[in-house]
Amino acid sequence: MSDSFKPKRIPGNTNLRYWYDATYDGYPLMVNKGPFVEQYLEKLYQTMQYALDDYARVFAFRFDLRLPHGKPLPNDVMTNLMIRDFKASLDEQVIWDRQRARNLNRSAHDSRVRMFWVRELGEVNGRPHYHCIVFLNRDAYRSVGGINSERNNMLNRIESAWARTLRLQVDEIRGLVHFTKGATHHLTRTDYVGQDEFFRRSSYLCKAATKHYGDGQHGCGGSRC
């Protein structure tokens, strides 16, 4: 398809634009998954840059959040309030954990939580699910921890935050938080090759296909400066 026949605006939300290039602001994209949503790529770029401005070494990890079947769900389950409440719960847990760490060791590193997310709707049931990337200070956190671990690791915090958001017990949401293969990345402010690979793999979340537009809900979000 020639450039002149490629649509510029996305049907359903003409405020959003398609992105067809192989790179975005110099970062490579997963070209075979395009076209992408330009504003989503920009939000991913901004969130990554904000995290690297915060910390010279960043731990980033990707995961998916899905809804349970056969469980009573909050009235706002179809709205962006779900991902807002999830982020707030995760923030609270990390703040508490860093305070605990400083009580044990005054030189323990702090960390804020930055998050990038996209919202999609299932083709069959029309229920939303979220693809998320969290960015943390790598001097404070280096891994998500093991599945079924009894320790208070990051994976358990993610599950706890999602359970609180859904107003369910953690046991009721097992399997609804999914960490993809190769989900973790160690970014460094001066390691541009590593940043390139992270951005290329993460650009998959910004593809225009599978997104839903025009229902009054944001399809993408990220932590602000």
More confident residue, 140 or 126: 140
- The domain limits of the chain are 7-222
Mean pLDDT of the chain: 91
Length of the chain: 225
pLDDT tens string 188-225: 999 999 999 999 999 999 999 888 877 778 889 998 75
What's the pLDDT score for residue 40? 97
Distance CA 16, CA 68 (A): 31
pLDDT tens string 26-49: 999 999 998 999 999 999 999 999
pLDDT over 80 at 123, yes or no: no
Residues 6+ apart with CB under 8 A from 177: 63, 64, 65, 66, 155, 158, 159, 162
pTM: 0.92
Q: Phi-psi bin for 126: left (phi > 0), alpha (psi -120 to 50), beta?
A: left
Please tell me the least confidently modeled range out of 64-78, 100-114, 180-194, 210-224. Answer: 210-224
Distance CA 68, CA 73 (A): 9
Confidence band, pLDDT 50/70/90 cuts, at residue 148: low
What's the pLDDT score for residue 213? 79
